[in-house]
Amino acid sequence: MSDFLEWVTHGAKRGRFEMDSRAAVALAVMVGTLTMVMALYLILISRTAAQGRTIEQLQAELFRLQRENHQLAVEIAQESAVPRLWERAQTLGLVPAEEIEFVGRSE
């Protein structure tokens, strides 16, 4: 690493950097690799954030459906209550049976 620092400071003192083709290729490969790694990292982070938003939306939908389901269960219980059934039967004109006749099978 001291060679690198010496090269940088030497080049800075002279006002220009001199680099042989081997060092230029190595630097280009390093820059390309770092760029590729950073791009892949950004893609991964973007997908993770998008999946997080999707999960939050699905959880919100789940909670909404659970509340709606609970409300429907309450309405079913109210409509199934005996006093409500009696009231509906009376509005339909139904009356309690006066005489019940059971019909059975003859064996």
Structural tokens at position 87: 């009231």
pLDDT tens per residue, range 59-102: 999 999 999 999 999 999 998 898 888 888 888 888 888 888 88
Dihedral sign of CA atoms 83, 87, 81, 100 in order = positive
Structural tokens at position 90: 């009376």
Length of the chain: 107
Q: What is the C-alpha separation between 46 and 54, in angstroms, rounded?
A: 12
Structural tokens at position 76: 């079913």
- Whole-model pTM? 0.52
Asked whether the predicted pLDDT for residue 12 surpasses 70, the reply is no
Structural tokens at position 69: 């389901």
Structural tokens at position 28: 């280009």
- The pLDDT mean for the chain works out to 87
